[in-house]
Structure 1
């Protein structure tokens, strides 16, 4: 409420020209954690964690560090082992596994983007894509040029990795580790494959846990950014990649810019074309997840960096816009998707790898039943979309005319503690229902409850609009359960609330924040289908 009041005031009383030149934190009010950020020409890129969602490791693009759009995913499908877990088959699943604290960088000499990530504490997976001549196009990649392909796996875990190509990009390094920070030097084969050729411990912390390492170079010196989870950022400074390194604190439990949220930490730094530097971190802001914030940095006469704070000595809610440009990006927030075209937009991710034979785009999104199950958490082909904060609503328009007896479909508020509004087909009757008490066991992430029908509404035969209105205003560290409301409409205009408000979990242990989702699974036999005709997300 505080942030909304401030923004409303600014829009009302500050000239629009001034406001348009302002960076507002959080820069993206969506769950984009464990970020890696860098610049190619005038284009900024941002990669984040997705765990078991597929495709994984989304890439965002910006021209000013304040406005971002989704462009692609580095990992088109989760090619991780065991495959049945990431495919949600054979009663296996990969909740809170998969992609976390990975890294993305661009190699100019070969015009190639590389993504690396340690999966499940075992091997490091690698994917790459051509850059579409990004090196001579200001960093901008034509949409058709993104073509991600897997590379040979490195049989070692680069934990919380940070990939770095040195000045002439012939020297390739990965910094990684937890408390024991190591650097691996990689060679690049003629075909673009990466292989480790040297590995060395460069810093050992004796007084705290540090992780989330990123490697940078400035004025001939090497800098390793490490976080003390989950409230501080430290920097390590050395004259060469192998050290020795000296440590200094950058931010330690710095307040702001949101109430009932965590402290800005982790992330990384990036410079602008004119040589100014910015720190991009994230806040624990559950139930919405972990959301990014940006602050400018200055470099002192002693060569060490400092984050620019606001008048209260905290992380500012408002800063001057890092880059003034006429280049525009799309919108990550309010949107309408009618599922047209040949592929899903980059804002969408499935819960685990989908069964691609059970969905299609055809004047809408066709979801055939892909699983016979009594458990939504075990059902394949649940399609999810990040919730935009602090308050928004997601509305799915669905044709349920081709459902079969025993089928379950609906709009779900998806996380380890979940609820949905949907349709249960029994015999020839399709009834609107509100279902809550869908729960996973924290830690093992097995299903403890498959849900209960809290309220049953009227029957429906054709199209139905299903809506979730969610308040993800941060309540991290409190006992306040932010609420979601479920509603339906038979004409898309008048909506009826069904059931009581659902209180969301503020726990960080699932890591991902709540999402809007749409699902369709069978409890008796495959063969039914639905068509999702549109999705609308708007701010309320």
Structure 2
């Protein structure tokens, strides 16, 4: 009998442990997916996010459960064709490009809008098929900061935008600009006011507007002096006001986002948190409704676990390995890849040498940060490893190719060709200044590189390795202390790169890129 009871107890404990482990945990995505906007269409959720200067841009992700997401589309290949986006004439647009987006579904059409200091315009993209496209662009000036696109019940189209002082404008029916004789007014003079219990408050941006049961709800982010990133919610009977506001959430700095409902009638807030070098990472917070107000969190706190399905991991939905093998005639890249700024599409190929990504130099560049055609994808937390194999047989004198971790304070390991010498080099720019930490002469034409990232509890360190056979790994250089810098305004990214410092025309062949959520 005792054995039976003990067996039942063990089985019950095991089932309980499995049940507990089957819950979703925060963060929802441990990777740089900031400025989310979200909708539900039937039983499918869609989310847009910010990738700024990357190409293609304005990523769209889908999910069936709010937890497991996969990239399904980009709204644009090229935001704008200018020197800054093309990394020409010493110019770049790090930290700019397209910013916070608004995502809507209205009368069978999907809309995603963004704005860009790089173009000085507001961009609106539309499609009937959000996963397959095609997307059509309409744009107008000026660039409406952190706007929320809104289709009201009366058929009129609006945007709320601004920082602290929030304005409402009515758009033309074809979305080509602001309607000259439409509503154009300030609706909230100081959107930070509800959070000013201790001194003044900053920000007051990130507008996201919702309408439920005849009332309008407006979400914004604020940052009280001596406090943290905070959610402020305003409510009104009419878009033109008056608006009343209150603090929606002040915990862990989790803020900026909005509301999403499930088919079963439950509600969540999707928000993000600044989390060091990995970037700005999404959280989900349960929502209850009390007296016509959304109440965020569990007793005002962000819960660690959620009554949602467990995550299956970010590989391959958000990041993925790539062997660079393609079917005949297929020259496309998986959606996990984005170029650092606009690429020169004549300078890379998956077909010139089947099974390899070839990056050819077409110009002289001065540094890793200004090199065109660096191919990137996100790092992920709490830890991640990226590995690649490089054939350098056709690199020229002065060429430099390898594997980097892209941010202003970057780190990389690669091969530099110096005359007849091939030198494995590790560069550490932790301080903002690039330092050649170590170099090793090699004799062969194939070399392997590895970068390991540890974002656990904001440890934010990375180590680099090289191998001559792909099996025995040797550390090289010094540990990179990663830091999230505003000039770049995004989490660290793995990057395959090749650039020339003396003569254009050489090329580097990358055999694969493999990513894992372990330090291996």
Match of 1:455 in 2: 438
Shift of 1:491: 2.4
Match of 2:219 in 1: 225
1:166 paired with 2:152, answer yes
Secondary structure of the equivalent of 1:417?
Answer: coil
Shift of 1:106: 2.3
Over 3 Å counting, the alpha-carbon distance change for 1:333 and 1:69 in structure 2 is closer
1:353 paired with 2:342, answer yes
Match of 2:242 in 1: 244
CA distance in 2, matches of 1:307, 1:164: 23
CA contact under 8 A between 1:371 and 1:379: conserved in structure 2?
A: no
CA contact under 8 A between 1:62 and 1:329: conserved in structure 2?
A: no
Secondary structure of the equivalent of 1:357?
Answer: coil
TM-score (norm 1): 0.84
Note the alpha carbon deviations across 1:325-369, whole angstroms, 9 max, x for none. Answer: 9x9997336632123343111111111111111012222211111
Alignment of 1:412-423 (within 5 A): 412-423=404-415
Shift of 1:428: 2.9
Over 3 Å counting, the alpha-carbon distance change for 1:15 and 1:383 in structure 2 is farther
Shift of 1:127: 4.0
Shift of 1:122: 6.8
* Residue among 94, 117, 120 paired with 1:120: 117
Shift of 1:315: 0.8
CA contact under 8 A between 2:97 and 2:117: conserved in structure 1?
A: yes
CA contact under 8 A between 2:140 and 2:176: conserved in structure 1?
A: no
CA distance in 2, matches of 1:274, 1:172: 29
CA distance in 1, matches of 2:399, 2:27: 40
* Residue among 260, 271, 274 paired with 2:261: 271
CA distance in 2, matches of 1:194, 1:271: 31
Over 3 Å counting, the alpha-carbon distance change for 1:242 and 1:330 in structure 2 is farther
Alignment of 1:134-533 (within 5 A): 141=130, 143=131, 145-151=132-138, 153-167=139-153, 170-189=155-174, 193=176, 195-196=178-179, 197-205=182-190, 208-209=201-202, 210-229=204-223, 231-252=229-250, 254-255=251-252, 263-300=253-290, 302-309=291-298, 314-321=301-308, 331-332=316-317, 335-339=320-324, 340=326, 341-362=330-351, 363-437=355-429, 449=433, 451-475=434-458, 482-508=460-486, 510-533=488-511
Q: Which runs of 4+ in 1 moved over 6 A?
A: 327-330
Aligned residues: 484
Over 3 Å counting, the alpha-carbon distance change for 1:131 and 1:22 in structure 2 is farther
CA distance in 2, matches of 1:438, 1:529: 28
CA distance in 1, matches of 2:294, 2:419: 67
CA contact under 8 A between 1:121 and 1:159: conserved in structure 2?
A: no
CA distance in 2, matches of 1:146, 1:531: 31
CA distance in 1, matches of 2:445, 2:306: 50
CA distance in 2, matches of 1:356, 1:26: 36
Secondary structure of the equivalent of 2:278?
Answer: coil
Shift of 1:16: 7.3
- Could you tell me which runs of 5 or more consecutive residues in structure 2 were left unpaired when the two chains were aligned: 1-12
CA distance in 1, matches of 2:319, 2:19: 23
Bigger shift: residues 212-221 or 491-500: 491-500
Bigger shift: residues 409-418 or 510-519: 510-519
CA contact under 8 A between 1:282 and 1:291: conserved in structure 2?
A: yes
Shift of 1:220: 1.1
Please tell me whether Structure 1 or Structure 2 has the larger radius of gyration of its CA atoms: 2
Q: How large is the RMSD of aligned CA atoms in angstroms?
A: 2.6
Secondary structure of the equivalent of 1:356?
Answer: coil
CA distance in 1, matches of 2:447, 2:20: 40
Note the alpha carbon deviations across 1:393-440, whole angstroms, 9 max, x for none. Answer: 111122221111110001011101011100001223322111123775
Over 3 Å counting, the alpha-carbon distance change for 1:328 and 1:402 in structure 2 is closer
CA distance in 1, matches of 2:381, 2:135: 30
1:99 paired with 2:98, answer yes
TM-score (norm 2): 0.87
CA contact under 8 A between 1:213 and 1:224: conserved in structure 2?
A: yes
Note the alpha carbon deviations across 1:19-71, whole angstroms, 9 max, x for none. Answer: 57522111111001111111111111111111212222111111111111111
Over 3 Å counting, the alpha-carbon distance change for 1:129 and 1:491 in structure 2 is farther
CA distance in 2, matches of 1:370, 1:74: 28
Match of 1:45 in 2: 46
CA contact under 8 A between 1:44 and 1:61: conserved in structure 2?
A: yes
Secondary structure of the equivalent of 1:305?
Answer: strand
Match of 2:6 in 1: none
Alignment of 1:64-83 (within 5 A): 64-79=65-80, 83=82
Over 3 Å counting, the alpha-carbon distance change for 1:88 and 1:510 in structure 2 is closer
Over 3 Å counting, the alpha-carbon distance change for 1:438 and 1:368 in structure 2 is farther
- Could you tell me which runs of 5 or more consecutive residues in structure 1 were left unpaired when the two chains were aligned: 1-11, 133-140, 256-262, 441-448, 476-480
CA contact under 8 A between 1:370 and 1:379: conserved in structure 2?
A: no
Secondary structure of the equivalent of 2:343?
Answer: coil
Note the alpha carbon deviations across 1:492-536, whole angstroms, 9 max, x for none. Answer: 222111122111125456421111111100011111111222111
CA distance in 2, matches of 1:510, 1:316: 30
1:55 paired with 2:47, answer no
CA distance in 1, matches of 2:428, 2:255: 34
